[in-house]
Amino acid sequence: MNIIKFFRIWKRSSEMAIEHVMAYKTAFFLLLLSLFLGDILIPVISVVIYQVSSGIPGWNLAEFVLFQGTLIIVIGLWHAFFASLLGETISAVEEGIFDRTLLKPFPSLAFLTAYSFDPDGLAEIAAGIIIVGWALAKMNFFNSTILIYILILLLAVLFEYSLTIIAASMAFTFVRTWRLFELINIAERFSRYPLDVYNKGMRFFLTFIVPAGIAAYYPAAVLMGKQTVFVVFEMIIPISLFFVFSLWLWNISIRKYNSAGG
Amino acid sequence: MSKFSGVVKTSIKDSIVYRFDMAITLITAPISILVFYSLWSAIYKYSGVDVIRGFTLVQLISYYVLTWVIGIFSYSNIEDAISHQVRSGGITKELLKPLNYLVSNFFITIGHRSFAMFIEIIPVFAIGFIFFKIKTSLTYLPFFLLSAIFAFILVYLISALVGMTAFWLVHNRGIVKIKRVLINFLSGAVIPLTFFPSWFQKLSYILPFQYLTFIPINIWLGKYTIIQTIQFLGIQLLWIAVFYMICVFVWKAAMKKVAAVGI
């Protein structure tokens, strides 16, 4: 695969995506507002939880808000750069027009990824950054581990991307299944709270089998000194294996495609 | 009435074809309940208390299981249907049919939800019964069922009203999302309203949204006297009447606005 060609396609498709949303400016800004509002209300629930109880074991309010902000950034990055891959695959399989992608002189997954930019995700990234910024300011915390935080955060996004590829691969088997998006939501549900709330068996499952639990946990835990920076090595293995598995699944799934639609 | 029973039958058949869509709830609901249970077990244990804002852990889990039940039962995608048909221009075809658009879509929703009862609601209830022993008294069961039906109608009317914004905005996904966020928050679907500060509770009590989730569940949990329960059902009916009138008014205005060019 030619990386330069990939970025050229990505740049052009992203420009088109922006032009498309700008054609309906009011609708676009209302949508950004709705996404922003939805994310900003998440820490409000946390404040309520901490007002009526002692909160999450081992996490004070600012730390937990930092955790949630991190998850919102991860989801926002996924939404902005990879989420459309799933929708595009489902609708192309449903309409029986996926062969158009297969006929392109470019790997199908890379091509769809290059076409996945969605400006809506930017509102979520902004909300996440504001929430994380608020939490860091509250903790008076600024040091060099923030660079490791960003690196681990990108690994978490790679996990979300892998999950999207797995869900998209399933679209070839279960034609017209828009609820495949809920598979991503399931992972997101497990990621919503620190691994500390789960029992040992669940923690192992969410770290090494389906590494959903680490999406926001490890970046936030490293930043707060709850985990050492070496955890990055611990994360690379399960996430890389998960990514390789998703690529393998995609490659065997596209062979099932038969243009019949659904 | 027979034409509407035909609409219900067709929508049930449509649901059967896409049963996998509904069956995903069989995965998502237990997982969500498991996550919620893990979270709140940890919080109760860490706080060293048995009751938080009137809810024991078991009651809170029951509350959450019931938010799923009510959510599935009262779900309506009429807002997406209106938006899609306005954007595509398909709304004219719908308006030419000898059936009232909003009424026939109401019966379509009844058909979809009837099928969801078997595929989604009964399994979720089963999880609640088996793992969390959720229970109600026979006295409150009929009131709960009535309240859930009223919640279903109210959700449909609110969704239809939000969907109608498509006649003015065309692309109304933002408004739809804002509505979903606010309803989740104000209906008590995320956590019970009694967990919020008193000013927020007072605000939510004067709004219609608590009648979508919080009130029906508290009726199930037997948190009100019979008199209070009947009063709440009366207020629910009143809100249905209010939203019905608003819907009729806005629909008439939308019909003057409709331009079926498609986009």
pLDDT score at B39: 92
SS3 content of chain B, % helix, strand, coil (to 5): 80, 0, 20
* Local structure of residue A196 (DSSP, 8 states): G
User: Does residue B219 contact residue B229 with C-beta atoms inside 8 Å?
Assistant: yes
User: Does residue B70 contact residue B216 with C-beta atoms inside 8 Å?
Assistant: yes
Q: In angstroms, rounded to a whole number, what is the distance separating the alpha carbons of residues B21 and B120? A: 10
Mutate which of B24, B83, B120, B199 to disrupt the A interface (most A C-beta within 10 Å)?
B24
Q: In angstroms, rounded to a whole number, what is the distance separating the alpha carbons of residues A73 and B77? A: 28
Find the CB nearest B185 among A41, A183, A192.
A41
B177 at interface of A, judged by CB pairs closer than 8 A: yes
pLDDT score at A179: 67
Q: Mean per-residue pLDDT for B75-89?
A: 87
Residues in chain A: 262
Find the CB nearest A27 among B174, B178, B196.
B174
Find the CB nearest B196 among A48, A55, A192.
A48
* Local structure of residue B191 (DSSP, 8 states): S
Phi, psi torsion values for B153, nearest 5 degrees: -65, -45
- A154, pLDDT greater than 60: yes
Answer yes or no: is B32 within a domain.
Answer: yes
Q: Total domain count for chain B? A: 1
User: Does residue B144 contact residue B216 with C-beta atoms inside 8 Å?
Assistant: yes
- A152, pLDDT greater than 80: yes
Q: In angstroms, rounded to a whole number, what is the distance separating the alpha carbons of residues A240 and A236? A: 6
pLDDT score at B18: 64
Residue of chain B nearest A185, judged by CA positions = B28
pLDDT score at B143: 95
Q: Rounded to a whole number, what is the distance in Å from the CA of A186 to chain B's nearest CA?
A: 6
Q: Mean per-residue pLDDT for A188-202?
A: 84
Place of tokens 């489902």: A90
Q: Rounded to a whole number, what is the distance in Å from the CA of B4 to chain A's nearest CA?
A: 27
Residue type, A185: N
CA-nearest of B13, B18, B126, B110 to B68 is B126
The pLDDT-based confidence of A100 (bands split at 50, 70, 90) is confident
pLDDT score at A78: 92
Q: Mean per-residue pLDDT for B124-145?
A: 84
With beta carbons under 8 A apart, name residues in chain A contacting B176. 34
CA-nearest of A76, A106, A74 to A6 is A106
pLDDT score at B15: 66
Q: In angstroms, rounded to a whole number, what is the distance separating the alpha carbons of residues A124 and A80? A: 9
Answer yes or no: is B70 within a domain.
Answer: yes
Q: Mean per-residue pLDDT for A220-236?
A: 80
Residue of chain B nearest A49, judged by CA positions = B195
Find the CB nearest B52 among A33, A52, A182.
A52
* Domain around B253: 2-257
Residue of chain B nearest A179, judged by CA positions = B21
Answer yes or no: is B43 within a domain.
Answer: yes
Chain A positions touching chain B (beta carbons under 8 Å): 24, 26-35, 37-38, 41, 45, 48-49, 51-57, 174, 176-180, 182-183, 185-186, 189-190, 192-193, 196-199, 202
pLDDT score at A260: 60
- Beta bridge partners, B56, equal B51
- Are B53 and A52 an interchain contact pair (Cβ–Cβ within 8 Å)? yes
The pLDDT-based confidence of A176 (bands split at 50, 70, 90) is low
Phi, psi torsion values for B56, nearest 5 degrees: -80, 170
Residue B46 CB partners (closer than 8 Å, separation 6+): A53, A54, A55, A56, A57
Q: What ipTM describes this predicted complex?
A: 0.82
With beta carbons under 8 A apart, name residues in chain A contacting B181. 34, 37-38, 41
Q: Rounded to a whole number, what is the distance in Å from the CA of B81 to chain A's nearest CA?
A: 15
With beta carbons under 8 A apart, name residues in chain B contacting A53. 43-44, 46-47, 49, 52
pLDDT score at A186: 77
**CA dihedral of residues A74, A80, A81, A84 (deg, nearest 10):** 120
Residue A181's Cβ-count burial label (10 Å; 0-12, 13-18, 19+) is: middle
User: Does residue B61 contact residue B158 with C-beta atoms inside 8 Å?
Assistant: no
Q: In angstroms, rounded to a whole number, what is the distance separating the alpha carbons of residues B112 and B110? A: 6
Q: Rounded to a whole number, what is the distance in Å from the CA of B35 to chain A's nearest CA?
A: 6
Average pLDDT, chain A: 85
Q: Higher-confidence residue: B88 or B196? A: B196
User: Does residue B209 contact residue B182 with C-beta atoms inside 8 Å?
Assistant: yes
Find the CB nearest B178 among A34, A180, A198.
A34
Residue of chain B nearest A193, judged by CA positions = B39
For residue A131, give both structure tokens. Answer: 């929430």
Answer yes or no: is B169 within a domain.
Answer: yes
For residue A69, give both structure tokens. Answer: 């902000």
**DSSP one-letter string for B97-163:** SSS-HHHHHHHHHHHHHHHHIIIIIHHHHHHHHHHH-----TTHHHHHHHHHHHHHHHHHHHHHHHH
With beta carbons under 8 A apart, name residues in chain A contacting B197. 48, 51
